[in-house]
Structure formats: structure tokens, C-alpha cells
Structure 1
Amino acid sequence: MFATAKAIQRRDPAAHSLLEVLLTYSGLHALTWHRFSHWLYCHRFYLIASISAHLAKKFTGIEIHPGAQIGHRLFIDHGTGVVIGETAIVGDNVTILHGVTLGSRHVTNGRRHPQIGNNVLIGAHAQILGPITIHDNAKIGAGAVVLNDVAAGHTAVGVPAQMQPQQPTKIVQLAHN
């Protein structure tokens, strides 16, 4: 969890110290609790795993099903209202802002929730629903409702979300006199 805390400190300009991240970031607390709940879930202690996840939700405002698979260095920023469903898979170096749902659309067996690739940014209150894939380096705009796959390096915005290739960042140098 220290690697995650250090990654959060690097990615969040509001983080003043590693100690601040460790003590006050609810997203980190929810992830720590999830690691324990997920271990219980994987060892078939389903009831205890569910109780643990429920307590984590009460303390952090972030709901992560114990069955969800979470990669390394996830940053849940201002996490209140985040919901991650049972069959969701979240890759490495993902940033999720508040109010995001990784949810299902249908009551079926098997994979019902999204798979999120590596280095993905998910904006506030985005809803990513169903067994879809958000590929590496994609961005999901705030408030987007995503019902289809998002290609690598694309941005999804709107309701329902429309895909756009990401534009390269332009670097402007100012002349000094």
C-alpha cells in the first residue's frame, strides 16, 4: 500500500506529504480494506468478506465489492459515491474521481461489470455500465454514460458517450525578453 500512497502523492498536487496521504485519503483506506475483503472472498469466506466491505463503505463512502479485481496504484480521488461491482476489473495506474459507477446493466451470470485498462482517467460521476472494456490510456469525461468499449487512447464524453481520439498536448514556449 506504500507504493499506492507514493503514487497518489505524485499524482495529486493537493497532497503535501506521504503521511497526509496515508492518514487522510479515503480512497487509499478503501483500497486497503478492499485488499483484506478480496482475500477473504478469494478464500470463500463470502459472508465475512461482505461484512468487511460493508464496514469499509460506511467508513469511507466508497463501495468496492470484495470480488472486484483491482490493479496496482489505483487513485480514488474525492471518492465519495464510488461504486465498483463484483466482476469489475481495474488495471494499474487508474484514476477514479468521485461519484463514479463501474456497474452492470443486466442481471446475468458471468462478467457483468466493466474492465478498465491501465493508465485510464475516469471523470467525476461517470457511469460505466455492462461487460465493456475501457482500453489503456483512455479518458472518460465527467458525467459520461459509457455503454460501449472505448479504444486505447480515446476519450469518451456525453450521454450516451461518444468516442474521440485524444489530441496530443501542445507545448507552448513563451519568449522571454
Structure 2
Amino acid sequence: MARNSLPALLREDLKAARAQDPAANSDLEVGFAYSGVHAVWAHRIAHAMWNRPQLRTAARLLSQFARFLTGIEIHPAATLGRRVFIDHGTKIVIGETAVIGDDVMMYQGVTLGGRALDKTKRHPTIGNRVMLGSGCRILGPVTIGDDSAIGANAVVVTDIPANSVAIGVPAQWRHKDGNYPLDPRLDLIDPAFLL
């Protein structure tokens, strides 16, 4: 079986959820009870259908059914990398031209949205090993660099370089300092929580 075959990707998604969620007790539990995993699985099938023009309507219907079941809306044309994990998945929107890298962790309420109606690239590109905090909004054809973190409720409308932390409205970023561990009071908590 090819490493990028659909069954192999679905197994990787299950392992990613187990690896990133300390509350996950078994593959059986994750496979039956995790709406984020269900949404990613449905998307992988819908995306494969979307790539066959005669199945695009069916792909949209599948994505909308998955949205109904999970509260997570992923356009079937969006590109998801490997081992994407949506924790506490609900109220997530991922637009048509969004591209998400490998090993991305996403929390509830994330929006990867557009700012224009043009038929061009209008949604974000998320690098590898990025953490997207609860309620963050990343809008437009911006790029979030590899190994970055976007804080809770941040609104990102500009590119964020690799190895950075972005917080606030509008989001401001700074590079992670590799010599020191992250300080949650400075790096991961949105200023809204400190009011």
C-alpha cells in the first residue's frame, strides 16, 4: 500500500490525534468520538472526489454533511497536509484555496478565511508544525511560516515568518528565541485574557 494512500492517511490521522491529545485513550475512542478526526477524514474523501470534476457536486454535499455532523466546515478544494489534528473541533471554517501543511494542530473556532471574492488564491497557507489557537482568524492569502504559533483570538492579516509567535488584534509577531523555552505569559496567551 502506498504511503500516501487514503487508508494510510486515515491511520496517520488517528495516530496524530492519539499523540497530541493526552485525553485520548485508544484508537477506538478517537475513531468513534473525535469530531475533528471525523471532519479531516470526511475532507480527505471529499477532496479526492473534488479532484474528479464529475464528482464535485457530490464532494460539496459530503463536505456539507460533515459540517452538519461535526460543526467543522472544510471546503473540499482546500488542501490538508498529513497528520492535521483538530482538537475540540467546532466552529472551524477552512476556505476553498486554503493550504495546510503537515503536523498542524488546530483548536476550536479557527477561521482560515478569504478577504476577496476573486477567483484566485484568497485563503491562507499554513506551514508545517504550526499551532493555531482557539478562535484565531487568519484572513486572506497570507502565509504562516513553519514552526509558528498563532495565539487565541488573534486576527492575522499579514504574513508571519517561520519560528514566530503571533498574538493580538491585529496580530503582532516576534520570533521564538531558541535559547529559552516559551513563556506562556508572553508567547501563547492572547492579550485579551490579561484584561
TM-score (norm 2): 0.85
2:25 pairs with one of 16, 19, 32: 16
**Aligned: 1:166 with 2:166:** no
2:121 pairs with one of 111, 118, 128: 111
For 2:126 and 2:140, how far apart are their aligned partners in 1?
A: 12
User: What are the superposed Cα offsets for residues 105-141 of structure 1, whole Å, 9 maximum, x if unpaired?
Assistant: 1111210000000000000000000001001000000
Deviation of 1:143 after TM superposition, in Å, equals: 0.1
Deviation of 1:3 after TM superposition, in Å, equals: 1.3
What does 1:119-134 correspond to in 2, within 5 Å?
A: 119-134=129-144
Deviation of 1:93 after TM superposition, in Å, equals: 0.2
**Aligned: 1:71 with 2:81:** yes
2:36 pairs with one of 8, 27, 38: 27
For 1:29 and 1:13, how far apart are their aligned partners in 2?
A: 18
Deviation of 1:75 after TM superposition, in Å, equals: 0.4
TM-score (norm 1): 0.94
2:95 pairs with one of 85, 88, 107: 85
For 1:122 and 1:91, how far apart are their aligned partners in 2?
A: 12
**Alignment gaps of 5+ in structure 2:** 1-9, 183-195
Stretches (4+) displaced over 2 A = none
Q: What residue in structure 2 maps to residue 156 of structure 1?
A: 166
For 1:32 and 1:20, how far apart are their aligned partners in 2?
A: 15
How many residues get paired? 170
**Matched AA of 1:150:** I
Q: What residue in structure 2 maps to residue 42 of structure 1?
A: 51
Deviation of 1:39 after TM superposition, in Å, equals: 1.1
